[in-house]
């Protein structure tokens, strides 16, 4: 018995396994948001160092902004490579808070693991950007990047100063708790 159909059963449509994505990197300091910088490829130490180079170049061009006093980064794997640590050591020396950084350089401070609520990007910036950008439903990565840039520019310096004051308060609570867990601080 043969069953005949109107479609070719061997026809196959190739579709990407994953939807297109972009990684956003930005810095928050008391004078505003630096960035955003974008990576469309898989984040490894090479594109991450390229972002850090852009960040340092931006800092050097902006004469009214003081040199970064401390550089803080989380413990993502691409952030903990020899190439990244060498770059951070060259530009920031012992003013780095990063997971495994003190083991590599003998300087700086170790990032407390499992503490994303300590960084201004995690407890403020990413949620704020999502609240501003997602309702606009950007259809392409170019539109998404453009909306993220506009959203970053829309955040006032006063708001960022309040965020940084909250960051200092969080660090004080962390010191009082001897590095142990403490309840969220809402300002």
Count Cβ neighbours within 10 Å for each residue of 96-118 and write b for 16 or more, e otherwise: bbbbebbebbeebeebeeeeeeb
Residue 92 has pLDDT above 60, yes or no: yes
Q: Are 148 and 39 in contact (CB under 8 A)?
A: no
Residues 143-172: tens digit of each pLDDT: 999 999 999 999 999 999 999 888 888 888
Residues 40-56: tens digit of each pLDDT: 988 899 999 999 999 88
Instruction: Work out the average pLDDT over 113-129.
Output: 82
The answer to whether residue 15 is domain-embedded is no
Name the domain count of the chain: 2
Residue 159 and residue 88 share a domain: no
- What's the confidence (pLDDT) of residue 110? 79
Among 79, 96, 114, the domain-final residue is 114
Residue 40 and residue 84 share a domain: no
- What's the confidence (pLDDT) of residue 1? 61
Residue 159 and residue 129 share a domain: yes
The answer to whether residue 167 is domain-embedded is yes
**Which residue has better confidence, 7 or 165?**
165
Residue 176 and residue 128 share a domain: yes
What residue numbers bound the domain in which 98 lies? 70-114
28 exposed, middle or buried (CB, 10 Å; 0-12, 13-18, 19+)? buried
């Amino acid at each position: 018995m043969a069953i005949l159909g109107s479609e070719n059963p061997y026809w196959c449509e190739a579709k990407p396994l994953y939807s297109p994505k972009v990684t956003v990197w930005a810095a928050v300091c008391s004078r505003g948001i630096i960035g955003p910088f974008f990576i469309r490829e898989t984040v490894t130490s090479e594109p991450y160092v390229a972002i850090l180079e852009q960040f340092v170049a931006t800092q050097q061009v902006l004469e009214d902004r003081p040199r970064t006093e401390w550089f803080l980064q989380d413990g993502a794997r691409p952030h903990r490579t020899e190439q990244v640590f060498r770059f951070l050591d060259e530009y920031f020396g012992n003013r780095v808070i990063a997971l495994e950084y003190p083991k590599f350089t003998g300087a700086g401070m170790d990032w407390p693991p499992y503490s994303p609520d300590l960084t201004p990007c995690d407890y403020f910036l990413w949620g704020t950007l999502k609240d501003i950008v997602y309702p606009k439903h950007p259809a392409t990565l170019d539109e998404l990047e453009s909306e993220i840039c506009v959203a970053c520019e829309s955040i006032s310096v006063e708001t960022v100063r309040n965020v940084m004051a909250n960051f200092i308060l969080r660090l004080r609570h962390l010191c009082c708790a001897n590095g142990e867990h403490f309840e969220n601080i809402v300002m």
